[in-house]
Amino acid sequence: MPDRTSDMDAADSGDKSPAYRGRFAPSPSGPLHFGSMLAAVGSYLQARSHEGRWLVRIEDIDPPREVPGAAQNQIETLVRFGLQADEPPLYQSASAAQHRAALTRLLDAGHAFPCGCTRRDLPTSGIYPGTCRNGLPPGRSARSIRFRIGDQPERFVDRIHGARSVDLTRECGDFVICRGDGLIAYQLAVVVDDLAAGITEVVRGADLLDSSARQQALYRALGAEPPQWVHLPLVVDRSGAKLSKSGGSDPVSTRSPATTLRLLLTALGHPPPSAARSLDALWAWAIANWDLARVPREPFEVEGR
């Protein structure tokens, strides 16, 4: 796995290093909604502010959740909004061999172990109690594979939300990295793919902030330095629910790209001037004025229709 210490130092210093590599990684479970477009726009602008490269990766490793045609629809939506990746789109399913190799590596190093527990075997808290940590109990056979967490909290700095300290023992316990149906779990797949793509900074929604501690633990177990973390504000409707669960009022499907981009930039703390009306003018202004320090932590409410 590559060592990205120099890239991290450059990002910390604010240097616009050409080594910067960011990405947007949607799951093909339906059309892109306002919350996912917020992550796309924020990650794109952050890459452009570093004079870096911006990639798109379709996370298509969970067939039961995939919607036929969704991946192509998502790519077309990005293009319609003027978001052009610097490299051809990646598909997570193409990395199956690398995912399996990382899983084997973690098992061989003792960082992971087979588990015979079902969800029904977990306490109501959902926190894994370590039942199979030291070997499968009598009468149980392996179903999934779990990552063995360490004793110390995972500490990291999110560039919007600040310093974080997460005790994984209290948050989740040893977590699944290969599911009972044989599919590689999100936490491991995303780490392997971000490493393979040389991603230096992960920019995504705040709903994934809690995943960073687990992913950081996986990075270190694989002998790699984690990327920088940036978690953009959640998007909610008037009831406080994530907008992804309120698709009928989503601006991506009900308004023009320019109108929606103006609202997205406002949600990111960058309300554009009234003179910037066209899509090209909005992008030119946003790229010239992007400042991560202006992005709020608080959720952004979208009223919808």
Residue 14 is predicted with a pLDDT of: 45
pLDDT reported for residue 26: 97
**pLDDT tens digits for range 57-92:** 999 999 999 999 999 999 999 999 999 999 999 999
H/E run at residue 113 = strand 112-115
For residue 238, what pLDDT is reported?
76
* Phi-psi sector, 167: left (phi>0), alpha (psi -120 to 50), beta: beta
CATH for 218:
3.40.50.620
pLDDT at residue number 113: 98
> How far is Cα 63 from Cα 180, in angstroms, rounded to an integer?
14
**Helix 96-108 / helix 186-197 crossing angle, nearest 10 deg:** 110
Total-model pTM: 0.89
Residues 6 or more apart in contact with residue 134 via CB below 8 angstroms = none
pLDDT tens string 145-161: 999 999 999 999 999 99
Low-confidence ranges of the chain (pLDDT < 70): 1-18, 243-249, 303-305
Give the pLDDT confidence score for residue 74 in this predicted structure. Answer: 97
The dihedral built from the CA positions of residue 90, 92, 97 and 103, taken in this order, carries a sign that is positive
Edge to edge, the sheet with strand 112-115 lists: 112-115, 144-147, 175-178
CA 238 to chain CA centroid, nearest Å: 25
Domain count, the chain: 1
Range of the domain at 124: 5-301
Q: What pLDDT is stored for residue 10 in this prediction?
A: 41
